[in-house]
Amino acid sequence: MSGESISSAILTIASVICAFGFVSAVYPSVISAGDPIMSRTDSMGDQIMIDIEILHETTGANGTEVHVWVKNVGCKGISSGMIPDSDLFFGEVGNFERIPYDENGSLAPGWNYLIEQDEDNNWDKGETLRIKIKPADLPVTGKKCFIKFSTYNGVSEEAYFTVS
């Protein structure tokens, strides 16, 4: 009788150890499986909170530059460190290119920016970004141009305008 009790106790202890080993092996996998879902949810939330609108486009500096004003109309600001990670496409309709960011504004093609109404170097809700574009090919008067600005997380706005 005592042999059965000892056998039962040993089997119970072995079962608990096996169960603990199984949970220890499987639990990290189950937890990490949710990480991509959480990451995608955070990314989508970020996109929902950010929205932009192109307000106006014009040529400047004797036709060698194009100035574009883009307003942050979303609920969330964008750090000034993230603005250079944005993509800007510009050119005549059907013949546009991605214009690289140029902090100094001296390269062609290149673009840089200034945050108007700025108090903290971040592009906050309600503030306007003035973008200065130096295209490789100067826009021709009377031609229709295309511009698309896409933030670091893919929120974008595009517009067509005629060079005057």
What are 143-158's pLDDT values in tens digits? 899 999 999 988 999 9
Q: What is the pLDDT of residue 80?
A: 87
Per-residue pLDDT, averaged over 37-64, amounts to: 75
Determine the residue type at 121.
N
pLDDT one-digit tens code per residue, 85-108: 999 999 999 889 999 999 988 888
Cβ-contact 119, 74 below 8 angstroms: no
Distance from C-alpha of 137 to C-alpha of 158, rounded to nearest angstrom:
20
CATH code of 51-162, in short, is: 2.60.40.380
The separation between CA 127 and the C-alpha centre of its own chain, rounded to angstroms, equals 18
* More confident call, 54 vs 45: 54
> Where does the pLDDT of residue 44 fall: very low under 50, low under 70, confident under 90, or very high at 90 and above?
low
Mean of the per-residue pLDDT values of the chain:
83
Nearest to 83 by CA among 140, 122, 134, 50: 122
